[in-house]
Amino acid sequence: MASPAHTVVLVEDDRVVAHMYMIGLQARGFRIVLCDSGDTLFGRLASLDADVIVLDWLLPGVDGAQVFAALRRDDRVRDVPVLVLSSLSHPDAERTAALKSGVVAWLEKAHTTPRMLADVISDLLAAGAASA
């Protein structure tokens, strides 16, 4: 089980999807901060203490690629791991570019249950703690 101190920022514009993943992650002990767009995320960055950011790639307004690029330029969250959770099923070029630019994982919503997402995040945090 994750430590209650581990905060996952979930950037997802679909309320039903966000709620489903939020409940699954909370059941594993994560604290969840929901943002429904990149703009909402940017507006809340100053108050966030994120351990992981889960980013939808298809967002209204500022898309996931733009959000990720902005996160990497921001000193407050530059080193926070970002993983993509997208409904894109075959985004080979986008997936490759995102992973090369520092996204730690690309997961497809259709194949990722809340439990699987929690496992990926737990493994990521454990690997980070082991290397620290």
Domain range spanning residue 88? 7-112
pLDDT attached to residue 93: 83
pLDDT digits (tens, 9 = 90+) for 17-46: 999 999 999 999 999 999 999 999 999 988
Region 110-117: mean pLDDT is 96
pLDDT digits (tens, 9 = 90+) for 45-102: 888 889 999 999 999 889 899 999 999 999 999 999 999 999 876 668 888 888 999 9
Residue 67, domain member (yes or no): yes
Residue 131, domain member (yes or no): no
Phi first, then psi, for residue 59 (nearest 5°) are -120, 155
Residue 49, domain member (yes or no): yes
What CATH number does residue 81 fall under?
A: 3.40.50.2300
Residue 64, domain member (yes or no): yes
| Residue 16 near residue 10 (C-beta atoms within 8 A) | no
Residue 12, domain member (yes or no): yes
**Overall domain count for the chain:** 1
Residue 72, domain member (yes or no): yes
Residue 73, domain member (yes or no): yes
pLDDT attached to residue 92: 80
pLDDT at 4 over 60: no
pLDDT at 1 over 80: no
Confidence of residue 131 (pLDDT cuts 50, 70, 90): low
Residue 123, domain member (yes or no): no
DSSP states along 104-132? -EEEEGGG--HHHHHHHHHHHHHHHHHH-
pLDDT attached to residue 90: 62
Sign of CA dihedral 90, 54, 3, 32: negative
